[in-house]
Amino acid sequence: MFLLALISTGQVVGQNFEGKVINAATAEPVLNASIENPATGTVVFSDDGGNFEITIEDYPAMLTISGFGFENLKVEIFNADHSGNFYLNPSLENLSEVIITSTAIPSRLQDLPAAVSLVSASDLKRGDNTNLVEKFNNVPGMYVNQGALNTNKINIRGIGARSQYSTNRIQSYFDGIPLTTAEGELTLDDIDPESLDRIEVIKGPSSSVYGAGLGGSINLYSALPKTPKTEAAIKSQFGSFNTRKNVVRTLHAGENTAVNANYTSLTSDGYRDNGDYNRHTALVNARLQTLDDSNLSLLASFTKLKAYIPSSLNKDDFMNNPQSANANWEAARGFESYDRGLLGASYEHNFSENFSNTTSIYLNFRNGYEPRFFDILKEEQVSAGARTRFQLSAVIFNISSQISFGGEYYNEWYNTATFENLFREYENQGSVMGERLSGNEQDRNYTNFFAQLNLELTEKWKLEGGFNINSTRYSLNDLFAGDDVNQSGDYRFDVIFSPRIGSTYEVSPGKNFYANISHGFSTPTVAETLTPDGQINTDLKPETGINYELGFKGNWLENRLYTEFSAYSIRIEDLLVAQRVAEDRYVGLNAGKTIHNGLEFLVNYNLNLTSGISAKPYLNAAFNFFEFEEFVNNDQDFSGNELPGVPKSTINLGLNLESDLGIDLFAGYRAVGEIPLDDANSGYSENYQLLNLKASWTFDILRDLEVNFYAGINNVFDEHYAASILTNAVGFGGAAPRYYYPGNPRNYYGGVQLNYIF
């Protein structure tokens, strides 16, 4: 009996499992993390080094790992040799600890002398997830004009608000691979939120890091698994306006590899006439860790889209018949369609503990066809480039320092042609292609050289400075022989030097003040350089601007409360404006200066209501004082007028209720102030308020099969509002100007998702 007892004891001891809990953002150990084995009820806590030891009697076993300020982690342990490193992601309430990697030198959010917003994994799960850009409306200082699923304009601090039908003046990267074209256009509509882990937004001029980003930068990061596992998921969602979304996703992670594959199909009839939408997106990304602790990352994405265009309405139709499409667009059955692909590879190599390099190469292509009632546009776009960045940690004159430097080269080939649209001659047949009207081939390339130095002057005071030197040039090949004008030739914008300096000071633990001054620029887009008859305006200059900013970031109440506040002033020169020359047609010109003064604040709070139920309320707001400093156009002086296309204020208030039973509730309220319609401020859109609700229930059917049911309501109170404004619309032929894109009325959605862990 004594021997049996001894053997039995030895077997129990042999089932002890050892591991380590690590902060996924900082790679530092997590103290006092809770590790629970629900099968036995055993609970242990990690020590100062993040290490723990827990008894596991039967494999496989499911462990629940949690820590204050971190998202809970559930992991299945297959055997005693299972990897013992477990990474906890900082939760939304612990924002200050998150490492922001989109800056020149990765740093804690708390230590950055800049306004940087994080859209976390939990933020991405809110709402119906049919449109990624909707997530940015919850970021203070950002506003999205949403004309339709495929007609969105993002502006950051008012920059980009005057764009006509798309987003520009903003740089964007997906895992370090550029999404913004060389001409400055950005389309994020066809990226599915399901494939993302987080988004980092740098607000204000970021040209010292990314070149032509006057408004800022949006950096997307894919959802690669951080711990070893193999998982498959399917999701089906149905909603109002016959909206359907289906997602198939698989992911696998081993000791040195991680792979994620995602396919999404999204279709909708749309709320408005001529509003059908059909998109298919496939994405695969992978990461391989080599023997020398370096990493190779790969990304491939393809999108096929066909989306009809209802366009904007005049005030009478907006108020009385908002579901209608513009008559001309409906008669032509206007739409946009394209095939778009993205390929990229990135290699991170560590020469030593203090010196590393990351180099990326990438290729983009887009083939588009867009029948519009005034013509038919065909375009082909191919771009390729490379970016390399070195990072060095050193001690200079007894000061801890970090240095980043590198360069980027990007080349884009853009071929465009327009043709007559004969839809009026062929009644009820939609768009019919006629004779060629114009043809141009524009090749653009830019080169950026950048550097940044961070100095830790004292334990509390940090200083950083950086710069970017940009050279942008383009060549034009006039392919149309139908006129007497040949504008073929080589053109170049002036070399632009963009400096930046910033500083933070920790007044007490977890509470930092910061200040920065930064320069930015944006070059004219192809649409702005080309006149409606296909000729090029070679006199346009890039927009330039300087941002002055003061801010505060602080944790309170033992890190349960996080706050941010910023005040800024951006001065823009050589403002690029769209001057209308016909219905839905315009030319670009440099016509003045603008001042963007604003205030932003953010509050996140974490409250444990009971053991097992937590409440996570948040509040953020932006107050905008944007106006023309100097602006004279067509002998009209608009100086002192408010900038059109951007609301005077936005306020977001939300609440997440989460329970250990797997039941989660979300309520989000948004208030948007009135928006000036044109440069003359002759009219304003009405302010509006929206309330959105969502409930979800997650539970296990089998040990390895998880089910999530969810349902939601958008625009609960059925508010009638303008979701987007077409600035400076002009009525031609006696027609009223078409300023308004109606927002969707009250609508519903629901779905189910199955996750299977192998």
Domain identity same for 246 and 328: yes
CATH number, domain with residue 203:
2.170.130.10
Residue 532 has pLDDT above 60, yes or no: no
The strand pair at 73-77 and 243-253 is best described as: unpaired
DSSP state of 700: E
What per-residue confidence (pLDDT) applies to 1?
A: 46
pLDDT band per the 50, 70, 90 thresholds, residue 13? very low
Non-local (6+) Cβ contacts of 327 within 8 A are: none
How far is it, in rounded angstroms, from Cα 219 to Cα 200? Answer: 5
Q: Give CA–CA dist 17/37, Å, rounded.
A: 11
What the block records as the tokens of 218 is 């949006």
Mean pLDDT of 689-698: 96
Considering the domain architecture, whether residues 614 and 594 belong to the same structural domain is answered as yes
* Per-residue model confidence (pLDDT) at position 528: 67
Looking at this protein, which amino acid is placed at residue 712?
G
Mean pLDDT of the chain: 88
Report d(CA 511, CA 499) in Å as an integer: 27
Q: At 461, which helix (H) or strand (E)?
A: strand 461-478
- Same domain membership, residue 328 and residue 463: yes
Both tokens assigned to 440: 């141009």
What is the tens place of the pLDDT at every residue in 444-503?
Answer: 888 999 999 999 999 999 999 999 999 988 887 766 655 556 667 777 888 999 999 999
Q: Please, which pLDDT band fits residue 155 given cuts at 50, 70 and 90?
A: very high
Among 173, 192, 218, identify where a domain stops. Answer: 218
Token couple for 598:
């604003």
| Residue range 41-58, pLDDT digits in tens | 888 999 988 999 998 888
Residue where one domain finishes, among candidates 218, 250, 273: 218
CA-based radius of gyration for the chain: 27
CATH code of residue 619: 2.40.170.20
Measured between alpha carbons, how far is 552 from 510 in angstroms, rounded to an integer? Answer: 11
Question: For residue 712, is pLDDT > 60?
Answer: yes
Any idea what DSSP says for residue 523?
Answer: P
**Count of other CB atoms within 10 angstroms of residue 14:** 8
Give the C-alpha separation, 116 to 136, whole Å. 13
Beta-carbon contacts of 300 under 8 Å, excluding residues fewer than 6 positions away, are 283, 284, 285, 341, 342, 343, 344
Tell whether the model's pLDDT for residue 437 goes beyond 70. yes
Distances 431 to 44, 376, 422, 586 between C-alpha atoms, Å? 69, 8, 6, 22
Q: Tell me the backbone φ, ψ of residue 9, rounded to 5 degrees.
A: -60, -40
pLDDT given for residue 734 in this prediction? 79
Residues 173 and 294 in one domain: no
Instruction: Answer yes or no: is pLDDT of 326 > 50.
Output: yes
Write down the pLDDT at residue 460. 94
129 and 172 fall within a common domain: yes
**71 vs 691, residue with greater confidence:** 691
- List the one residue out of 350, 353, 343 whose CA is nearest residue 297: 343
Q: State which residues form the domain around 359.
A: 219-757
Structure tokens at 713: 């309501």
- What is the pLDDT at residue 25? 64
Q: What is the pLDDT of residue 232?
A: 95
Q: Are 316 and 324 in contact (CB under 8 A)?
A: no
What pLDDT digit, counting tens, does each position of 176-219 carry?
888 888 777 888 988 889 889 899 999 998 888 888 888 999 99
Tell me what pLDDT residue 211 has.
83
Please state the rounded mean pLDDT for residues 8-21.
Answer: 65
Assign 737 to helix, strand or coil. coil
Q: What's the pLDDT band for 427 if we cut at 50, 70, 90?
A: confident
Place 105 in a pLDDT band, splitting at 50, 70 and 90. confident
pLDDT band of 586, cuts 50, 70, 90: low
- Predicted pLDDT of residue 643: 92
**Lowest pLDDT segment from 323-337, 382-396, 588-602, 650-664:** 588-602
Q: Is 608 exposed, middle or buried (0-12, 13-18, 19+ CB in 10 A)?
A: exposed
Residue 160 in this model has a pLDDT that exceeds 90: no
**Residue 26 belongs to a domain with what CATH number?**
2.60.40.1120
Residue type, 247: V
The SS3 assignment for 328 reads: helix
Higher pLDDT, 8 or 616: 616
Q: Are residues 77 and 172 in the same domain?
A: no
pLDDT: is 14 or 146 the higher one? 146
Q: Is there a contact between 652 and 138 (Cβ–Cβ < 8 Å)?
A: yes
| Whether 753 and 666 share a structural domain | yes
- Of 459, 542, 546, 471, give the one whose Cα is nearest residue 501: 546
Q: Residue 486 has what pLDDT?
A: 63
Q: Cβ distance 288 to 254 under 8 Å?
A: no
pLDDT tens track for 548-578 = 999 999 999 878 899 999 999 999 998 776 6
pLDDT at 122 over 80: yes
Tell me what pLDDT residue 141 has.
96
Burial class (CB in 10 A: 0-12, 13-18, 19+), 662: middle
361 shares its domain with 488 = yes
Q: Are residues 54 and 122 in the same domain?
A: no
377 and 419 within one domain: yes
Query: Using H for helix, E for strand and C for coil, what is the string for 149-174?
Result: CCEEEEEECCECCCCCCCEECEEEEE
| DSSP-assigned letters across all residues of 536-591 | B-TT---EEEEEEEEEEEEEETTTTEEEEEEEEEEEEES-EEEEEEETTEEEEEE-
Of 361, 408, 444, 418, the residue nearest 183 (C-alpha): 444
Q: What is the pLDDT of residue 7?
A: 44
Helix %, strand %, coil % of the chain (to 5): 5, 60, 35
**Nearest CA-CA partner of 597 in 546, 541, 665, 659:** 546
The C-alpha atoms of residue 733 and residue 259 are separated, in whole angstroms, by 57
Q: Give the number of domains in the chain.
A: 3
For residue 8, what pLDDT is reported?
A: 44
Tens of pLDDT along 261-305?
A: 999 999 999 999 999 999 999 999 999 988 777 889 999 999 999
Q: How far apart are CA 631 and CA 636, in angstroms?
A: 8
Question: Which amino acid does the sequence have at 194?
Answer: E
* Integer Cα distance of 599 and 604 in angstroms: 17
- 323 and 208 belong to one structural domain: no
Longest Cα separation, the chain: 107
The backbone torsions φ and ψ at residue 206, rounded to the nearest 5 degrees and listed phi first, read -125, 30
Name the pTM for this structure.
0.87
| Amino acid sitting at position 745 | P
Is there a single domain that holds both residue 353 and residue 450? yes
Residue that is written with structure tokens 């927009």 in the block:
543
Which of 160, 185, 218 lies at the terminal end of a domain, its last residue? 218
Apex CA 600: angle with CA 646 and CA 149, to 5°?
Answer: 40
Is pLDDT of 14 > 70? no
